[in-house]
Structure 1
Amino acid sequence: MFGGAGNDTIDGGDDADWIDGGIGDDVIEGGIDNDTIMGGDGNDTITDIQGADSIFGGSGDDSITAGVDTFSDYPNDQPTYFNPLTGNVEANPYFGTGDPNKEDGRDYVDGGDGNDTIRTGDDADTILGGNGNDFINAGIDDDSVEGGGGDDFIIGSHGSDILKGGDGNDTIYGGFGTEPIPGYAGEEPDATDPQPNNGKDFIDGGAGNDVLYGEDDDDTILGGSGNDYIDGGIDNDDLDGGQGNDTILGGQGNDNILGAQGDDVIDGGDGNDYIFAGNDNDSVMGGAGKDTIDGGQGNDTIDGGDGDDFIEGGFGEDSIMGGAGNDTIFAAGDNDTVDGGDGDDSISGVRGDDLLIGGAGNDTIDGGEDNDTLKGDAGDDSLMGGFGDDSIVGGDGDDIISGGGDNDTILGGAGNDSMRGDDGQDTFRDVNGGDTIDGGSGTDASDYDVIDLTGSLNGGGYYLDNVRPDNDPGDTIDGDSPNDGIDGTIVFTDASGAETGRLDFTNIEKIIPCFTPGTLIATPKGERKVEDLEVGDRVITRDNGIQEIRWIGSRAMSGEEFARSEHLRPVLIRQGALGKNLPERDMMVSPNHRVLVANDKTALYFEEREVLVAAKHLTGLEGVDIVEVSGTTYIHVMFDQHEVILSDGTWTESFQPGDMSLAGVGNAQRNEILEIFPELATREGVDGYMAARRTLKKHEAKLLTR
């Protein structure tokens, strides 16, 4: 049948018809059997209810209906939807669980150019929208739809459909789910599984900024290029954003989500999701469930949400929140920030200067490489700094802390913590009774561990107890050798002097440098006994000429104290023991008082002619011995900086305030020093009061005494 030019009305009736509407706005009905219909030019209305029809709309804004069941076959509350092309709310004949007409036929529909409205019914139809802004409702069974050029609106309805938007900004619904189609009204879908027969759809948005809904069942959705909005809906979906800055919602179910390129926003929703954010700077939310999240490249923001999640930040400076649950988090990339949140989390910094926070729960944190900040927060945490100059804060709970390599700062916080410095120059702060501290191993100048009690006394005081003489108290810290570092106990007291707690330590340095009464100190007015000197008196120094004394202190030691702490017994240096007239007379000093040694050996072994050596490390020399006394007084003389002064004809050190030397003078005298030198209350102030010379360790001093 040929309509020719004009607005024709053609009814094919029964049998397999061949119809060409020709030019004009034609109304064509194919009838029963397998028809071939061509609308031709013009805005045609084509209807073919049954048969495997081939329909070509041609040019113009056509309305094509192929194989649609009559509305009377559906419930009275048949739903409607909004047709964006006509602007009307229309009945949707495909919503429901039944299939009123199982012999509609597999139709082939090509809308051609123009803004077409195409509806097909039962069986697996093939629909091409062509160019233009088309509205396509594929109907029941497994359809194949390609929108073509233009901003198309496509509904897959029932069945496992293949839906491709093509070019343009398309909106595609795989079926009907919990999210209503715009303008949709009627039967309310079941929130858990509204349409179990929607089918496993394949949706490809193609080019353009698309809106793609998988709705019910296990869908596969490809966003393609452009900034797409993808909602997988219910069940286990595979979602790929493709290029562009996409928004991807997994919805319910165990989804696989790929952000690919662009700054994507991804929400896995409920279920155990696998999310790979891909390139660029993404925002990822795992939602409820045991999710696996890989941030990929870029500076990502990741929130695991509820559930025991596995999160890897990937490359870039990421911000990661574990959320509730027992999460496993690898920061992996550059300078990352991680907060484990609630639960017993395992966090690894790997590389970069990371900030790693355990949050609530009993967390395990490993800083990895570089200079990290670790915070256990609440719970009994296990914190390992790894390599780099790390700052580690235990927080509340009974924590186990290991500094690892390099120079770490460790703050125990509340609870009974176990702290170990390992290699490097480590500093322990915010310590309390019930803590244990091990400075760790190391035999060279790079390992020098201290306990800083600033802020730990809470208005009380402390004293040292059980310092074991088997361990020589000196400048060397060596956890592997019993002859380096000291072991002992810091006893904390309240303001009245009553004991409040004890801290056991090993491999920590303790220094109490001082003279004993009778030592003669060189001054511009001649030699004077050290016990006769006063603040403001002037003393001859080796490096800085004549200097005024800023502070003088003393500590009396009884024979009972020496019996309890044999390592504090004085050292007697006989006349000439260090060289001709060195000293000029017998001199007795504290064991940690350092003496200047300058000779060819020091230049040969240490490439420095002048070094300082603790008196106790010179006992290998003839005439230098630790002696038993019934008691003595150690006197400290302090200047604006560490000085070398002439005592009994030998150059020796003045008092150098350090963490352990300040501990040795007692609370009252320490407060006097801090009043004169308030900067010594800070870590920077103590570090800034530098030694006048290099100080030899015990094993180094042995080279001079053998």
Structure 2
Amino acid sequence: MFQRLLEPLTMGGKTYPTGTGIHVGFRMEVRNPDGSEQTVWTINVDRGGGSYTTVGVASNKPLLPNSTFKVFDGGDNAAADILDPSQLFCFAAGTLIATPAGERAVETLAPGDEVATADGRAVPVRWVGRQTVRRAAASGRLAPVRIAAGALGAGPDLAALPRRDLVVTADHALILGGLAITAAALVDGRGIRRLAAEEMPERATFYHIETEAHDVVLAEGAPAETWVDHAERARFDNYDEYLRLWGADRRIVESPLPRVTSARQLPAALRLKLGLGAVESPPQASAA
């Protein structure tokens, strides 16, 4: 997924400054001489204008000499075997999305259908990205997040949100108090929690909605962002469909709403409204 460096990073003798855009590129399945296997991803740096340069690789364990690499791009249906949990995307199957004609399960939406935005507009769907992942990829800190019905408090119509349990991936943002807040930042272990591995099927499918802009749609009644990270479309199982429809990737301008990715960034008033409690301060070192 597209991210920005929070501090300088040095790779290959070159230092990339804070704020540099990076994303994970090709996936490589590696078979080592001893018969063991591992996964490697290329690390790409944003050069601007929608282009990227590969500057290194990341692996789940040290690489061995004389290993054999099998390379996949995101358009390969081998996406079902993704091992990197950061590659999970968006709404779980069955999530109800508001449309001008009523709510529809996200997996039933198609290009040309209209969805309702949080500000009352009806906008056409350009594409619905689909990605199936193994249970092994949906665990730990980046496991999907379940937001229990009512856990976000009352919406504009005073109805408790979401109206039903909402399952999204950890880095997907909900719009609360004028902020785009990732689901992971809202986790409290009670009404908002990461799913345990045993709660996930062996394979799960997630869907992302792309509209013309970085919009806010209503998922189970709760305001949630649409697709914005153009660099990652190739990770979806149906990327070839996108190319058939539109011919080439396009950059979507990100919403100006401040993005919150950590519980520590949540305003105190919002924490109080959601019943999240105060964030503990780190212990202070005592004077000698």
TM-score when normalising by structure 2: 0.62
The alignment status of 1:691 with 2:269, answered yes or no, reads no
Whole-angstrom CA distance in 2 between matches of 1:568 and 1:639: 25
- Greater gyration radius: 1
Alpha-carbon distance change, 692 to 636 in structure 1, aligned in 2, over 3 angstroms? farther
Whole-angstrom CA distance in 2 between matches of 1:664 and 1:618: 26
Counterpart selection for 2:121 from 528, 539, 545: 545
Shift of 1:455: 6.5
The alignment status of 1:642 with 2:214, answered yes or no, reads yes
| Contact residue 657 and residue 689 of structure 1 kept, 8 A | no
What is the aligned partner in structure 1 of residue 60 from structure 2?
466
Residues 443-463 of structure 1: per-residue CA shift (max 9 Å, x gap) = xxxxxx869995668xxxxx9
What is the aligned partner in structure 2 of residue 678 from structure 1?
248
SS of 1:553's equivalent in the other structure is: strand
Shift of 1:596: 1.2
Whole-angstrom CA distance in 1 between matches of 2:127 and 2:195: 28
What is the aligned partner in structure 2 of residue 618 from structure 1?
186
What is the aligned partner in structure 2 of residue 576 from structure 1?
150
| Contact residue 583 and residue 650 of structure 1 kept, 8 A | yes
Question: In angstroms, what is the RMSD of aligned CA positions?
Answer: 4.2
Structure 1 residues 282-361: aligned runs within 5 Å: none
Counterpart selection for 1:420 from 5, 15, 21: 15
Whole-angstrom CA distance in 1 between matches of 2:136 and 2:218: 32
Alpha-carbon distance change, 663 to 620 in structure 1, aligned in 2, over 3 angstroms? farther
Whole-angstrom CA distance in 2 between matches of 1:436 and 1:642: 27
Shift of 1:570: 1.1
| Contact residue 577 and residue 621 of structure 1 kept, 8 A | no
Counterpart selection for 1:590 from 160, 169, 175: 169
What is the aligned partner in structure 2 of residue 652 from structure 1?
224
Residues 67-86 of structure 1: per-residue CA shift (max 9 Å, x gap) = xxxxxxxxxxxxxxxxxxxx
Whole-angstrom CA distance in 2 between matches of 1:533 and 1:675: 15
Shift of 1:493: 1.6
Whole-angstrom CA distance in 2 between matches of 1:597 and 1:456: 35
| Contact residue 99 and residue 114 of structure 2 kept, 8 A | yes
Whole-angstrom CA distance in 2 between matches of 1:549 and 1:419: 41
Alpha-carbon distance change, 541 to 558 in structure 1, aligned in 2, over 3 angstroms? same
Q: What letter matches 1:519 in structure 2?
A: T
Structure 1 residues 249-264: aligned runs within 5 Å: none
| Contact residue 594 and residue 612 of structure 1 kept, 8 A | yes
Whole-angstrom CA distance in 2 between matches of 1:614 and 1:511: 15
Structure 1 residues 164-243: aligned runs within 5 Å: none
Alpha-carbon distance change, 451 to 516 in structure 1, aligned in 2, over 3 angstroms? farther
Alpha-carbon distance change, 636 to 677 in structure 1, aligned in 2, over 3 angstroms? farther
Gap runs ≥5 in structure 2: 29-39, 62-68, 77-85, 155-159, 279-288
| Contact residue 93 and residue 207 of structure 2 kept, 8 A | yes
| Contact residue 418 and residue 436 of structure 1 kept, 8 A | no
Alpha-carbon distance change, 663 to 702 in structure 1, aligned in 2, over 3 angstroms? farther
Q: What letter matches 1:665 in structure 2?
A: F
Shift of 1:621: 6.7
Gap runs ≥5 in structure 1: 1-402, 440-448, 458-462, 468-490, 498-509, 599-609, 681-685
What is the aligned partner in structure 1 of residue 265 from structure 2?
700
| Contact residue 41 and residue 58 of structure 2 kept, 8 A | no
Alpha-carbon distance change, 464 to 550 in structure 1, aligned in 2, over 3 angstroms? farther
| Contact residue 572 and residue 627 of structure 1 kept, 8 A | yes
Q: What letter matches 1:662 in structure 2?
A: R
Whole-angstrom CA distance in 1 between matches of 2:41 and 2:126: 36
Deviating 4+ runs (over 4 angstroms): 431-437, 449-457, 510-513
Counterpart selection for 1:524 from 100, 118, 121: 100
**What percent of counterpart residues are identical?**
23
Residues 652-704 of structure 1: per-residue CA shift (max 9 Å, x gap) = 11111243x436436x5177269627353xxxxx3x52226221131313753
Structure ranking higher in helix proportion: 2
Counterpart selection for 1:493 from 71, 74, 77: 71
Shift of 1:426: 1.3
Alpha-carbon distance change, 426 to 622 in structure 1, aligned in 2, over 3 angstroms? same
What is the aligned partner in structure 1 of residue 112 from structure 2?
536
| Contact residue 543 and residue 643 of structure 1 kept, 8 A | no
Shift of 1:512: 4.9
SS of 1:534's equivalent in the other structure is: coil
TM-score when normalising by structure 1: 0.28
Higher RCO (C-alpha under 8 Å, 6+ residues apart): 2
| Contact residue 516 and residue 634 of structure 1 kept, 8 A | yes
Residues 103-134 of structure 1: per-residue CA shift (max 9 Å, x gap) = xxxxxxxxxxxxxxxxxxxxxxxxxxxxxxxx
Q: What letter matches 1:529 in structure 2?
A: A
